[in-house]
Amino acid sequence: METVVLNDDLKEKFYMFIETDERITSLHTIKSYKFIAEKVFNNYDCISKDTVRAIIKRYNKRTNVKAMLTKLNDFFLEYDINYNIRFRKGKKPPRKIPDILSKQELVNILNTMPSVYRMMISCIYNIGAGLRISELINLEWGNIIWDQLSLNNPIIDVNIKNSKRGKSRTIPMPKESAIALIQYANEVNVIGASGYPEGGRIFDFGEDSFKKDLKIIDDRRWNYEYVQHSYDWIVYNIFKKYFKGIANKNITPHSLRHSRATELLNEHDVPIKKISEWLGHSDISTTMIYLHMGNKNDRELMRKIGGV
């Protein structure tokens, strides 16, 4: 087959494929694939050798179009469509690193927020080396190992389950966050007979009322749409309202993970391997992209190296 016709039926099947692909667990990835696919299906009648070249030339400077086309290859294979998209080898464009916040900048912003918003942002920033937004949305009271908390052991573990690419990890949470969460649990009345918080998701974005019929029919698709709805809520109600006033910085939800990882490296000398584990990265080279190496590192390295 030399071409594949791009029509509405194929687009809907492709969207269903990426939304239900258990290998894709990141909300950002699904939204990115659909965003690029929408442009491709709207502007091209078919996939062919020539149109693939044109699509990459037109969109690749602003989007990761090759990743979407690679996923389209997986879709063709799954649906027995006899076509394989091939790419010319070329240089990868440099990856833009998001702006980051200093801890003091973040504290100043937190002080302007309602308490529940402050709790959400604190959890994103404080737990491990920073949570993904989808991890915050899916975080449950039972994921926190509450019986570890004591005067002698103020740092407790949090189990992050089925995160990106279906992986799980256990990461530490500082006592300040644990105490604040227990206070919040008292406010929302989820302290159980054990004396610790119990129940489902910690933060509620209208879970009980969100698309009830869909939840009965297709729980996986409901969960995807609920996380998307919650993510959009966080961006609109918190980031666009409270983070937009920082001069010369575009702070996104992902910026908090970059900020936290950079703080751990530059201010607390946490080993990069440990930061990578806490972030949930499978490759330490991904962690290196995350980190803003400050002048302190240069000075510390030179102090150790010395001279003659």
Q: Percent of the chain having pLDDT more than 70?
A: 86
**Residue 228 and residue 181 share a domain:** yes
28 and 122 inside one domain? no
**C-alpha of 244 from chain center:** 20
On whether both 62 and 107 belong to a single domain, the answer is no
Helix axes of 27-43 and 49-59: crossing angle, nearest 10 degrees: 120
- Rounded to whole angstroms, how far apart are CA atoms 17 and 260? 34
Residues 19 and 55 in one domain: yes
> Residue 127: phi, psi to the nearest 5?
-75, 120
Cα angle 174-149-121, degrees, rounded to a multiple of 5: 35
Q: Is residue 175 part of a domain?
A: yes
> How many angstroms separate the CA atoms of 222 and 2, rounded?
37
Residue 47 region, left (φ>0) first, then alpha (ψ -120 to 50), else beta? beta
- The CATH number linked to 222 is 1.10.443.10
Q: How far apart are CA 188 and CA 182, in angstroms?
A: 10
Cβ distance 147 to 197 under 8 Å? no
pLDDT of residue 92: 61
Residues 210 and 259 in one domain: yes
Amino acid at 245: G
147-203 per-position pLDDT tens digit: 888 877 778 899 998 666 567 889 999 888 888 999 999 999 999 988 899 999 999
Q: Are residues 125 and 233 in the same domain?
A: yes
- Residue 105 backbone dihedrals phi, psi, to 5 degrees: -60, -40
pLDDT greater than 80 at residue 300: no
Token pair for 25: 């667990």
Q: For residue 75, what are the CA distances in angstroms to 19, 100, 167, 183, 275? A: 12, 37, 23, 47, 34
Residue 203 lies in a domain: yes
End-to-end Cα, the chain, rounded Å: 68
Partner residues linked to 34 by β-bridges: none
pTM of the model: 0.72
Query: Can you give the pLDDT at residue 294?
Result: 55
Low-confidence winner among 84-98, 113-127, 238-252, 257-271 (lowest mean pLDDT): 84-98
- The residues pairing with 173 across neighbouring beta strands, listed in sequence order, are 156
Same-domain check for residues 48 and 160? no
SS3 136: helix
Across residues 12-24, what is the average pLDDT?
82
**What is the distance between the alpha carbons of residues 60 and 93, in angstroms, rounded to a whole number?**
9
Q: Which structure tokens are listed for 257?
A: 């993970």
Task: Return the beta strands (E) in the chain as ranges.
Answer: 4-5, 46-47, 156-160, 169-173
At 6, the pLDDT band (50, 70, 90 cuts) reads: very high
Q: Does 156 lie in the same domain as 245?
A: yes
Q: What is the tally of structural domains in the chain?
A: 2
Residue 42 domain-assigned (yes or no): yes
Same-domain status, 129 and 198:
yes
Cα 136 to Cα 119: distance, rounded to the nearest angstrom: 11
**pLDDT reported for residue 37:** 93
Q: Is residue 297 part of a domain?
A: no
274 and 189 share one domain:
yes
Tell me the residue range of the domain where 115 lies. 103-290
pLDDT of residue 154: 73
The answer on 10 and 117 residing in a single domain is no
Residues 212 and 254 in one domain: yes
In a domain, 91, yes or no: no
Q: Compute and round to an integer the Cα radius of gyration of the chain.
A: 22
Q: Tell me: pLDDT of 293 over 70.
A: no
Identify whether 277 is part of a domain: yes
